[in-house]
Structure 1
């Protein structure tokens, strides 16, 4: 908080208090401005709402924003010349105290399909300490590391079923989901992850629950209802990073994972309040051979 570190990477478990690192300085006398870069639209809404509820002056940066605030949240998709002009003006006036990049691992794992994340490197040009936050940065990718806590979840039980017959994955996933839903306590939550939007909609229709993904057609109302009432929601990885919803006790992946980092983020949505959690992965037999064939085809 005193600005002596020019760059800092903080690796803490999901639910481990990373948000506190940029909200606490905003509660000091003469806090100045803290800029927080977040990767997803949903995270902006959640972060601004939570900060304001806590009595912190917090705004979302938009292209017509000129005034400062204790905490300014900006989407990674808006890191353009206009934003950097705004941030540089704050710095020239001595108001910019620090810049945070939340879920910084995405700069490594998602830049190939979200080209705007390449612009994250430009935040290093701002005249303020840079703090990068994540729960899933592999050790060999760390740089300027100062703080790392154990990110293991001892209350999570991981189960992998890789014996499902070809073509039977969705049927088996629905069977498992219905059984788990019947045992789910009132108000607690379950998340089912699929790789594609079409799979989300199809499985949600079969289960009679809501679905969520980024883009047109996403059911925001169903997500809000799930947050308040519990039950099941089917989602893509859009619900896998940064969001903080209490009461999630079951996470089920009904398809091949994108990667270990994505899985850690998605399974990490559960158990953030210390709950006992079941994290289930369902995949078909012969998945290893298929994955090897896909990788050879991409070479």
Structure 2
């Protein structure tokens, strides 16, 4: 319905869908009508474009065809939201908005709430960042709008001035992809001089300096001489502090992933950071770390009565109506800083039922705040699956090398039925040489094998129901597990339940009886060891019947994860290179990164030295 007195339409500007609506009707008589352009979130904009291009013409044709049955004619409506009586009344729009926001966000948003949010977004995210010429509604309740909406940001636009009915100037600084001033005219989109506007997520007041990040790190670690461990850790912390979203940090186990959210939280003066942790023990450890760092931290639902700086919640609880309502309320008040998903690789590696719960975390995206995903293992080939599971659009990845230079990898072939005997020999040969506090883990693929092997070795066995994250908490209360933690009994037999999200110091030996389920599982399980930089021995014991054959035809019929495990087991080359190739396409071998040699590299070096010695080139 465009004309001299009205400007209402949809536009596509730099690939972004924007709805332009009339603002003050009376001012149109003086050729200075004000309008508001509402930029839609990317996926909503795509839906709107598809609706207007494909769906709406079809429904208009259907309506016309229906009227023709009664020899009548009705012109198609110019309104998006309409029925047979014409455009929706405010009451109809109110019911739709409030009902669906309650359903998807856990909070009922009214039209008045939306007005507050729109005004506050425009004022806070436009005027305060250099857009001084934008026109805003000069009502008396602007302060109330800021109180209600706070820092909410979900891709809404800046208010723009329209000097004439057929010309719309839009300052496109509200989204990272729209960073120039444009004029929308009948002839199309004409870019003009780029304004000097700082992107919203790069505002001077919000981007911490390198010195501020370092001081926050030292405050968290309570060490005045602390430094970032790796450039990737430092960059992940910087981007999280700048609220780049969605951010995916892939840092090896034991590399300090939790600092990616703890340091920015320490920098922020107020607000809440929600951390979704898969297991009870991981939550307990994170709470301890946060409290030790001076950050107020509570479990859910203890946090329900207050707004601590960090809230730890399980995946199941994060999907409950009570939590979603509480989180939405915190967000609407502008106090929700970050949502962090820890061990995010479980979205595609966990057991089916728990996997479904983790994928349900996509509902949290409706909170409209920055998201940070943390994991130690996310292979490049799995990135697409991960993005689809969490419905991510153009995530920013920070990836560190997966290589653990202190781990000595080896594979031992034994005859059928001799696997448990070989494990027992290894344990007996190592136990006398363990330093105080050192310990080891023996992994089995089934609960029954764990129980039998533990009885044979005279130690405790650890398992948890993969469908129930709280089962880990119960298993960790058992006396045998506590005795292993304190190194009273140096070894424990476990299923993959002990493979993710548990930080236990002093583990120096890891044995797998049978091949691991996948390279991701193996990296996580072997990564329980050497978190303090100790030398680690990681051994896989394979019986003859389970040794993978060299058969290209059979391999082609296997799943990718099985082919990767087979390659790791039967390779005659560097095992570390196979791990790096599978996890992050890093083809360096043990010698290339000056790591502890794997069994094959060590054997190759012995052969090489032997040949040189035979030729008289090495003095004995």
Structure index of larger Rg: 2
**1:72 maps to which residue?**
311
Residue of structure 2 aligned with 1:165, choices 415, 421, 431: 415
Q: How does 1:79-94 map to 2 (within 5 A)?
A: 79-94=319-334
**Unaligned residue ranges in structure 2 (runs of 5+):** 1-239, 388-394, 466-470, 560-620
Name the SS for the 2:304 alignment partner: coil
- Quickly say closer, same or farther: Cα 1:282–1:35, change in 2 above 3 A: same
- Superposed CA RMSD: 2.4
**2:270 maps to which residue?**
31
Q: With CA pairs under 8 Å and 6+ residues apart, which has the higher RCO, 1 or 2?
A: 1
**1:48 matches 2:283:** no
Q: How does 1:1-299 map to 2 (within 5 A)?
A: 1-62=240-301, 65-78=304-317, 79-110=319-350, 112-114=352-354, 115-142=356-383, 144-161=395-412, 163-215=413-465, 218=475, 220=477, 221-229=479-487, 231-287=490-546, 288=548
Displacement after TM superposition at 1:22 (Å): 1.7
Give, in whole Å, the separation in 2 of the partners of 1:33 and 1:168.
54
Displacement after TM superposition at 1:219 (Å): 5.6
Give, in whole Å, the separation in 2 of the partners of 1:64 and 1:31.
15
Deviates more, 1:126-135 or 1:75-84: 75-84
- Quickly say closer, same or farther: Cα 1:108–1:159, change in 2 above 3 A: same
Residue by residue over 1:156-213, the C-alpha shift from the partner in whole angstroms, topping out at 9 and shown as x without a partner, is 110011x222222222222222222232222111111112222222222222222222
Name the SS for the 1:244 alignment partner: coil
Residue by residue over 1:121-160, the C-alpha shift from the partner in whole angstroms, topping out at 9 and shown as x without a partner, is 2222222101101110001333623311112011111001
- Quickly say closer, same or farther: Cα 1:97–1:64, change in 2 above 3 A: closer
Displacement after TM superposition at 1:20 (Å): 0.9
- Quickly say closer, same or farther: Cα 1:286–1:141, change in 2 above 3 A: same
Name the SS for the 1:16 alignment partner: coil
**Unaligned residue ranges in structure 1 (runs of 5+):** none
Give, in whole Å, the separation in 2 of the partners of 1:57 and 1:295.
49
- Quickly say closer, same or farther: Cα 1:111–1:200, change in 2 above 3 A: closer
Residue by residue over 1:23-63, the C-alpha shift from the partner in whole angstroms, topping out at 9 and shown as x without a partner, is 22332352311111111222112211222233321111128
Give, in whole Å, the separation in 1 of the partners of 2:521 and 2:462.
17
**Between Structure 1 and Structure 2, how many residues are aligned?**
293
Name the SS for the 1:180 alignment partner: helix
Deviates more, 1:113-122 or 1:9-18: 113-122
Name the SS for the 2:338 alignment partner: strand
Deviates more, 1:140-149 or 1:270-279: 140-149
Higher share in helix = 2
TM-score under structure 2 normalisation?
0.45
Name the SS for the 2:312 alignment partner: strand
Give, in whole Å, the separation in 2 of the partners of 1:31 and 1:75.
23
User: Does the 8 Å CA contact 2:277/2:343 hold for their aligned counterparts?
Assistant: yes
- Quickly say closer, same or farther: Cα 1:57–1:63, change in 2 above 3 A: closer
Give, in whole Å, the separation in 2 of the partners of 1:219 and 1:64.
24
Name the SS for the 1:286 alignment partner: helix
User: Does the 8 Å CA contact 1:107/1:120 hold for their aligned counterparts?
Assistant: no
User: Does the 8 Å CA contact 2:303/2:311 hold for their aligned counterparts?
Assistant: no
Displacement after TM superposition at 1:102 (Å): 0.6
User: Does the 8 Å CA contact 2:290/2:296 hold for their aligned counterparts?
Assistant: yes
Displacement after TM superposition at 1:109 (Å): 1.4
TM-score under structure 1 normalisation?
0.89
- Quickly say closer, same or farther: Cα 1:295–1:141, change in 2 above 3 A: closer
